[in-house]
Amino acid sequence: MTPTSPQNSEPGADPRRLAYLGTLASGLAHEIRNPLGTMKINLQLLEEDWADAANNREKKTLKKINLLMKEINRLENILDDFLRFARGYRLKPVDRDVNAILGEVLEFVMPEAESHGIRILSLLEPGVGKYPLDVNHFKQALLNIIVNGQQAMENGGDLIVRSHREGKQISIDITDTGAGIAPENLEKIFNVYWSNKKGGTGLGLAFTRRIIEEHGGDILVQSEPNVGTQVTIQLPASPSANG
Ligand SMILES: Nc1ncnc2c1ncn2[C@@H]1O[C@H](COP(=O)(O)OP(=O)(O)O)[C@@H](O)[C@H]1O
Ligand SMILES: [Mg+2]
């Protein structure tokens, strides 16, 4: 996806009209997703049918099927990211052990990461304690950051997840040894639809920042090209979650 001009919010736009447009757009996304699912299932069957392609003609057909499958997966990703972003929700924060949540997310991503030559190092400081978290949304935010880190390490690397507490503030650092972010792009990465990845949606970090801020927290990014990136989530002593 090509970088587009950032547009996080429209000052002065009628909120009711925006909400209506949002509803329309999510409806459309849902409508597209169902037939897409049917197409995908049938393509999968076709893929199986042609899996043992013998001659050139058959191999060419299989290649086209694979390409269609890739594009369908891409469309599904776009719709999923969009729906996550556009869907109305209300956070339901409940006091949860921050390290336990981090541990669950790491366990979830571990197999996929390892298969891509990525080593996950978890440095969770004991006694970090609890914070009011909407577990599903917070996990999704963490996942978005971790997936970006993995995608930045095409040839493998280290993903370091650290938690610590300073006074009453809890910090979570997610560091990768990947491609890094060019200084001129650093301010754009949270903009909706800004992506420099093939197949990227540019919605992951925008959504992540919204979730973290709705938990009363902050998200910061430091990066050096060809060295890596560190994303820090700061959760304050006294949360003022406004979700
Ligand atoms: N850990 C990272 N390393 C390098 N670049 C990153 C990292 N995280 C985010 N980015 C940059 O920020 C952009 C936006 O990220 P995101 O909102 O998740 O969208 P997407 O992953 O779909 O591109 C990415 O396309 C990438 O250029
Ligand atoms: Mg992403």
The alpha carbon of 189 is separated from its chain's Cα centroid by a whole number of angstroms, namely: 12
Looking at domain 94-235, does it have CATH number 3.30.565.10? yes
The answer to whether residue 33 scores a pLDDT higher than 50 is: yes
The answer to whether residue 18 scores a pLDDT higher than 90 is: no
pLDDT of 239 reads 58
Choose which residue among 77, 189, 229 to substitute to test ligand 1 binding: the one with the highest number of ligand atoms within 8 A of its C-beta: 189
181 in ligand 1 pocket by Cβ < 6 Å? yes
The answer to whether residue 22 scores a pLDDT higher than 50 is: yes
The whole-angstrom separation of Cα 58 and Cα 54 is 6
Tell me the two tokens of residue 197: 């990845």
By residue count, the chain amounts to 243
Give start and end residues of each alpha helix (H) in the chain: 15-49, 56-86, 98-115, 135-151, 204-214
The whole-angstrom separation of Cα 239 and Cα 131 is 8
Q: Count other C-beta atoms under 10 Å from residue 134's C-beta.
A: 21
Q: Mean pLDDT across the stretch 162-171?
A: 94
Least distant ligand from the CA of 207: 1
Q: How far does residue 153's CA lie from ligand 1's centre (Å)?
A: 12
179 in ligand 1 pocket by Cβ < 6 Å? yes
pLDDT of 5 reads 43
Place of tokens 């003609």: 57
Average pLDDT taken over every residue of the chain = 90
The answer to whether residue 6 scores a pLDDT higher than 50 is: no
157 in ligand 1 pocket by Cβ < 6 Å? no
Enclosing H/E stretch for 155: none
Tell me the two tokens of residue 89: 């929700």
150 in ligand 1 pocket by Cβ < 6 Å? no
Q: How far does residue 183's CA lie from ligand 1's centre (Å)?
A: 13
Q: Rounded to two decimals, what is the model's pTM?
A: 0.83
The answer to whether residue 1 scores a pLDDT higher than 90 is: no
Q: Which residue has the higher pLDDT, 218 or 2?
A: 218
Q: How far does residue 201's CA lie from ligand 1's centre (Å)?
A: 9
Q: How far does residue 174's CA lie from ligand 1's centre (Å)?
A: 13
Q: Which atom of ligand 1 is nearest to the CA of 144?
A: 18
Place of tokens 């060019």: 182
The alpha carbon of 185 is separated from its chain's Cα centroid by a whole number of angstroms, namely: 18
Q: How far does residue 174's CA lie from ligand 2's centre (Å)?
A: 14
> Hey, what amino acid is at 205?
L
Q: For the segment 62-105, what is each residue's pLDDT rounded down to a tens digit? A: 999 999 999 999 899 889 888 888 877 889 999 999 999 999 99
Q: What's the chain's Rg over C-alpha atoms?
A: 20
